[in-house]
Structure 1
């Protein structure tokens, strides 16, 4: 190359570099214009370095403490301005009073069918339509009909625990709780008996695992450079493996077709059966497309698996390392349920177990933040929130704020007595969200948790083992420990 060619090449590189820097920084004056404080940032990458250094949990608490006297503060998700709301009254206004201004969640990834029409990422009127169609499926009466699926899989869990106990094995709770939860969800959603506890290599489990454990490279890129997310699907790099998604959609089609052929449609009492029959009863089945049914079935698995298994494993682990709480929970199960097997009705009397589960969720909320995207400009408590602004509610930081929770690192179920709950702001604890867009499966998840945990406590005492690490250390990107949740179980006398 001659000198002219080199100069042209250099000029092109400089222009591209300038364009990149301009693109990355063009929104970095947003919070200055709004008069909102931000932490020190990188000139180009915003708060990328802080996220990388601290991880999603402690990243929240570091800034939350830094701006402890502020209602809100801002940070830049590389180039995207994110307004973090700390004030609990403002949070209530965003999630409830001004819900119509914050009806949408932030969409980081654009999804293709069959996942595109799921409740988690749907927006506006389409979200309202699907939510209205699916909501009756999670009524108390419907949950009662699904309870036998949970009980059956809880009994299989006990058989598996018995085998491990008799062989003297130490148990990693997260893994075994994931297997139980997947079996239960497959049964509740599709009426499929997987028995992943005995056969973890089954096809359904393997394809589901690929979805719930997505490509780590894409996960890192989307986590750190969220503005790139929408481009991945467009260039043929979906966040969730297309093959696995299609496998689950085919499973839905297979179940629906089989039930139509053998005349059992409307009699099985699983999620798929109930959501289609509910739609027919409501007269909306014509408007509930097959794509929407696919998406809700997949999000039922995706949303339920990580949430329930995380809460279940942390609750059992925390009880194992706090024997006085474990003993009290076992005593309650003995007194309220006796020798009956736990079911959706009798677990409603387990108030102390409720407290233990809530305290575990407080310490490690599976949904460690909530986000919304402002769809119309609004002023709340003297703060102007412009249309398009991403709003983040730091659930983990609020759940660990010593102003609401003295000694937040301490496991203390007494925080959730009726008397203590009355002394706190109702929005100091919201693991399943609040308002019209809260977690639709919350009640079912809690019933599943209480049945499974009560069944374990009826028969076993959990104790620390040689691999137990407590206090635990959280992963930087997921609600799980870096060292596992290891315990040993002993049969109760």
Structure 2
């Protein structure tokens, strides 16, 4: 046989081999795709097997497109009116049970919380045991460890240490408002800068003074983060639909973000969350390296330790699950938790105050009642020294804030839990991995709970001390062991700002002040699209 013939035969064999490999690879990929499609189809039949009603959904996409179009809170309220207090829907093919049944909520959030020690899976969440998870996203033993460390940070004693920082920022807020008296102002612009100034000072001890600097980069990056969460970027949408591949997609997005940050000569194309995280990292690194000590959240977290267990020796570490249960948080964990505090404490409080001023502008009788209480409590401006104790003695102010948060719950779409171990709740067998989310709006506007005064009306006296309701009926900060850890801080900041403003000024509407808020946007925070304009006028007599 000639060499040419041998070459031809070898070439033919190689061609057959390559063709065979290609066919096998192609068939394998096709089989995997078919199996995955079958898995999606089967997952989207869960509620049929459980006997729960569901709104109409699309294969693969589930109900997510409708939620993204109309905001989750509004969509759930609409579905509850049709399907009742408990039903299910699909985010992609991830099942979510929705309930406004107070007994079920009490069971999930309190009585059986050990079976529900996680929130539902968010598009930007890596995995339950990822070191990149903060308190909000962590689950099971990692969450319990972080919560035990962080809880003392928000105790009344620790918050008292932050009063001087908050007082300084609040006074700066008043000084800036003083320059804008008798003018129509968009109050959210001032509130955003006030809450960012306060939380950044409280968290890091750094005085960025973003209230005076309209072009402050910290301010703009934080606003961009929430804009990205509301619009849900393409990558995050893919993690919602392809949930099994979420860690891979997120790692790829992180790598791309990191490379862009390294090669970009400006911050224009740098991911805002990456930018904030890097700056927090630099703060912590400097504090740790040079042993800088300040009275702020960073210092409190670095000093926080879980109380010694009598069964543990000093400095002992125990192994639980796939990570060490240390008595202190790592610098990386402190970093991610500080980023979480900054973002949560900034936008949530700003939005809550924005709603408050909307109410004040449209309800002059509420302005008068609050001012009367302040005048009685503080005889003159020189004696108006707000502290943690006296601000909580203002009963009507407390009821006012509670009613604002009832009508306009800030983070209603974060009031959810994920089942970690199969269990039964209210006769419903809930498999592991299924999330339970609460339709907060339907509960907060339920006439049977909040009547006889129409829940659509603003009426603070419904929170009078002699009125008893289920603890599951009021959920602006969640419920149970996983409720909002920063609740005291947020309420203190809100009350300080409102007390200072109302003691000095009257809040008036303008021609452009909306009478009702009809349009909302919602990522992790529910906030109005409608611009709230007001006018502040110096009080004639105090």
| CA deviation profile, 1:288-347 (whole Å, cap 9, x unmatched) | 211111112111101111111111111122112111011101111111133213222221
Decide whether aligned partners of structure 1 residues 217 and 15 sit closer, same or farther in structure 2, where only a CA change above 3 A counts.
Answer: farther
Matching residue within 269, 292, 297 for 2:295:
269
Matched, 1:135 2:161: no
Q: RMSD of aligned C-alpha atoms?
A: 2.9
Partner of 2:422: 377
Partner of 2:250: 233
Partner of 1:334: 375
Partner of 1:314: 355
Partner of 1:5: none
Matching residue within 71, 78, 81 for 1:65:
81
Contact 1:37 1:74 in 2 (8 A): yes
Contact 1:145 1:269 in 2 (8 A): yes
Q: What secondary structure does 1:372 align onto?
A: strand
- By how many angstroms is 1:159 displaced? 0.6
- By how many angstroms is 1:278 displaced? 2.9
Partner of 1:419: 466
Partner of 2:227: 213
Cα distance in 2 between the residues matched to 1:328 and 1:74: 43
- By how many angstroms is 1:204 displaced? 2.9
Contact 2:73 2:439 in 1 (8 A): no
- By how many angstroms is 1:211 displaced? 3.1
Q: How does 1:350-361 map to 2 (within 5 A)?
A: 350-361=394-405
Larger radius of gyration: 2
Q: How does 1:144-183 map to 2 (within 5 A)?
A: 144-165=160-181, 168-183=182-197
Contact 2:370 2:396 in 1 (8 A): yes
Q: How does 1:4-15 map to 2 (within 5 A)?
A: none
Decide whether aligned partners of structure 1 residues 228 and 249 sit closer, same or farther in structure 2, where only a CA change above 3 A counts.
Answer: farther
Cα distance in 1 between the residues matched to 2:229 and 2:466: 46
Cα distance in 2 between the residues matched to 1:472 and 1:162: 27
Cα distance in 2 between the residues matched to 1:354 and 1:415: 12
Cα distance in 1 between the residues matched to 2:82 and 2:408: 21
Q: How does 1:48-197 map to 2 (within 5 A)?
A: 48-68=64-84, 70=85, 72-108=86-122, 109-111=124-126, 116-165=132-181, 168-197=182-211
Decide whether aligned partners of structure 1 residues 476 and 243 sit closer, same or farther in structure 2, where only a CA change above 3 A counts.
Answer: closer
The unaligned stretches of length 5 or more in structure 2 are: 1-22, 258-270, 309-313, 316-325
Contact 1:57 1:476 in 2 (8 A): no
Partner of 1:3: none
Cα distance in 1 between the residues matched to 2:428 and 2:514: 43
Cα distance in 2 between the residues matched to 1:208 and 1:367: 17
Matching residue within 300, 304, 307 for 1:278:
304
Matching residue within 281, 291, 294 for 2:335:
294
Contact 2:76 2:439 in 1 (8 A): yes
| Stretch moving more, 32-41 or 238-247 | 238-247
Count matched residues: 473
Cα distance in 2 between the residues matched to 1:206 and 1:252: 22
- By how many angstroms is 1:21 displaced? 5.1
Cα distance in 2 between the residues matched to 1:160 and 1:471: 27
| CA deviation profile, 1:145-190 (whole Å, cap 9, x unmatched) | 111111110100001101111xx43222222111101100111111
Q: What secondary structure does 1:213 align onto?
A: helix
| CA deviation profile, 1:348-377 (whole Å, cap 9, x unmatched) | 111111111111111111111312110111
- By how many angstroms is 1:434 displaced? 1.5
The unaligned stretches of length 5 or more in structure 1 are: 1-7
Decide whether aligned partners of structure 1 residues 427 and 223 sit closer, same or farther in structure 2, where only a CA change above 3 A counts.
Answer: farther
